A and B are shown apart, each in its own frame.
Chain A
């Protein structure tokens, strides 16, 4: 039972971190130990799309990746979530072969990254750029497609991503969203087995974002493994089979979106800020928690049922306030994310 807001907050963080650790360990305990000693045999078998074991990357004195382990399965969508500077892009760029790890094991489709044999098999969408500003949209896609033996039809792909009417537009004159879509098209045009998408929907309008999600869904159905980084929780929740939350270069939680958000439900409502929560907590059964975050937004966690609801409304009546916008809902991935990685701005 927590009596103050800050106690409550640290309790949530601690328990979520415990849950996160439990999740990541229970998910892969056997594999980790097995994989470390059995890399050669993994190559022969159907290896995972990506396997990282105890990855370390330092830039000068700063440790960007600090013993990170993760596994992305084939034919599945793996979302890597994390605040700015958590090590997402570094991790992905090591897998893509653009950077080398300082320590740890990296296997991409069973091979060390950067192997020329991997190049046709892996599609890459950089976080930004990668296209000559003067190159025309269709020309660039055609050039990339001609580097592969059995590429997708460029015209169909452009049309699919709504770029047909911009086919002759130079890259620098495309909008940010159009540039992103062209980079996405170039990442998949060679019909890869695995694609890395670094923040694929950053800067996209809602229509383009949905089109991108649809495409990722189709890649998955076609058996392509997708590893994407994102800041958007709804994106991860919606697209990913497996979510990996990283912070300060380490995995803080991983699992399916459902397993991360858990079965726990919350009661949320809005009311005048600064209501005394102590009395409410006294009235609630043990194991419940209440917090106001941000001001005027109240969240009650515990055995959410008729009794709890009755207790809360009785307390509201005693305080002389009307609970506004009262909802019972599951925790979102965003809640989990903020609990794990904190609310401070980075």
Chain B
């Protein structure tokens, strides 16, 4: 405290909120930095997806039933990356923000709750951009040849957007109702289960026929299936997948909005 007299500060009240856009940008920037700096988050969002992509495409560990392994894997790993950021990462980070009183403290600043949610969404999308860039680059290097038509890209974007909304809703639903430690455990468990049962690296066709209809209703299955059909086959708009994702988005966001506790 040696310099306590050194600086004159003018405390005369001059209260005013920053413009909405600047507040959202500031908060989103802080969230992106926090994610990229956090080791566990990086493991989840980048390292695991890239390892799965490289490992399963190079080694014949899985039987995808004909076709190029990388063409099968790349869309699945993209879907996994979206889930890891929008759902797992967001649930854990938000759960602990609630526990540490960060959400409460931010509630006493001019940043509104809508602004905070917008900032979180922007941060998730920004991290997803980094993930997609890295995963697509690695996949291309491994010989991935996706359908690159503008229509296919547009359809893929639409799927990613709906997937992000659905997974964000699920993540916030968890973070806003469970204790932070419970969220941590549950979010990781759900991540593992969906990784195994959502057609990410193991094709759904390998599961018993009786289970398949149920598995296809999972948000991760809809996202992997949808991305795969659009990016591999250049197929028409996968309406089924879009409908499943939209339903999850509406349901989870609606429930999260009703149940979220900020403290």
Would A193 and B15 be within 8 Å (CB), given that A131-B102, A156-B9, A160-B7 are in contact? yes
Top 3 closest pairs, chain A to chain B, by CB? A130-B105, A149-B16, A129-B101
* Interface: A318 (CB within 8 A): no
* Interface: A257 (CB within 8 A): no
Residue of B nearest to A209 (CB): B1
Docked Cα-Cα span, A323 to B10, in Å, equals: 52
Q: Nearest-CB distance from B91 to chain A (Å)?
A: 16
Contact across chains for B263 and A98 when beta carbons are under 8 A apart: yes
**Residues of A within 8 A of B (CB-CB), count:** 53
* Interface: A38 (CB within 8 A): no
Q: Nearest-CB distance from A103 to chain B (Å)?
A: 22
Contact across chains for A147 and B110 when beta carbons are under 8 A apart: yes
Docked Cα-Cα span, A131 to B97, in Å, equals: 8
15 additional contacts, CB 8 Å, given A98-B107, A98-B263, A222-B13? A119-B108, A119-B109, A123-B108, A129-B101, A132-B102, A135-B30, A147-B17, A147-B27, A149-B14, A149-B19, A162-B3, A192-B15, A207-B1, A223-B13, A224-B13
Would A126 and B101 be within 8 Å (CB), given that A116-B112, A208-B1 are in contact? yes
8 Å CB contact of B4 from A98, A146, A162: A162
8 Å CB contact of A150 from B14, B26, B27, B38: B14
Interface size range of chain B in the complex: 35 or more
- Residue of B4, B9, B97 most packed against chain A (CB within 10 A): B9
Contact across chains for B11 and A219 when beta carbons are under 8 A apart: yes
Contact across chains for B15 and A146 when beta carbons are under 8 A apart: no
Q: Nearest-CB distance from A130 to chain B (Å)?
A: 3
Residues of A within 8 A of B14 (CB): 149-150, 191
* Interface: B111 (CB within 8 A): yes
* Interface: B34 (CB within 8 A): yes
Q: Nearest-CB distance from B60 to chain A (Å)?
A: 41
Docked Cα-Cα span, A96 to B105, in Å, equals: 10
Contact across chains for A156 and B109 when beta carbons are under 8 A apart: no
Residues of A within 8 A of B4 (CB): 160-162, 211, 214
Within A75-119, the residues touching B (CB, 8 Å) are 96-98, 116, 119
Contact across chains for B12 and A222 when beta carbons are under 8 A apart: yes
Q: Mark A23-65, 1 if CB is under 8 A from B, else 0.
A: 0000000000000000000000000000000000000000000
Would A148 and B15 be within 8 Å (CB), given that A131-B100, A162-B4, A214-B4 are in contact? yes
Would A98 and B109 be within 8 Å (CB), given that A132-B34, A159-B6 are in contact? no
Residues of A within 8 A of B27 (CB): 143, 147
Contact across chains for B110 and A120 when beta carbons are under 8 A apart: yes
Residues of B within 8 A of A116 (CB): 110, 112
Q: Nearest-CB distance from B111 to chain A (Å)?
A: 5
Residue of A nearest to B12 (CB): A222
Secondary structure type dominating chain B contacts: loop
Residues of A within 8 A of B19 (CB): 149
* Interface: A133 (CB within 8 A): yes
* Interface: B258 (CB within 8 A): no
Q: Nearest-CB distance from B171 to chain A (Å)?
A: 17
Residues of B within 8 A of A223 (CB): 12-13
8 Å CB contact of A148 from B9, B10, B18, B37: B18
Residues of B within 8 A of A186 (CB): 105
Docked Cα-Cα span, A222 to B8, in Å, equals: 12
22 pairs from A and B in contact (CB 8 Å cutoff): A97-B107, A119-B17, A119-B109, A119-B110, A130-B105, A132-B96, A134-B34, A134-B38, A143-B26, A148-B15, A148-B16, A150-B16, A159-B3, A160-B4, A161-B1, A186-B105, A191-B12, A193-B15, A210-B1, A214-B4, A218-B11, A222-B12
Docked Cα-Cα span, A188 to B6, in Å, equals: 18
Residues of B within 8 A of A164 (CB): 3
Residues of A within 8 A of B97 (CB): 132
8 Å CB contact of A147 from B33, B104, B109: B109
Would A97 and B3 be within 8 Å (CB), given that A148-B17, A150-B16, A153-B9 are in contact? no
Contact across chains for A191 and B15 when beta carbons are under 8 A apart: yes
* Interface: A338 (CB within 8 A): no
Docked Cα-Cα span, A316 to B112, in Å, equals: 68
Within B108-126, the residues touching A (CB, 8 Å) are 108-112
Contact across chains for A146 and B1 when beta carbons are under 8 A apart: no
Residues of B within 8 A of A130 (CB): 100-102, 104-105
Q: Nearest-CB distance from A343 to chain B (Å)?
A: 33
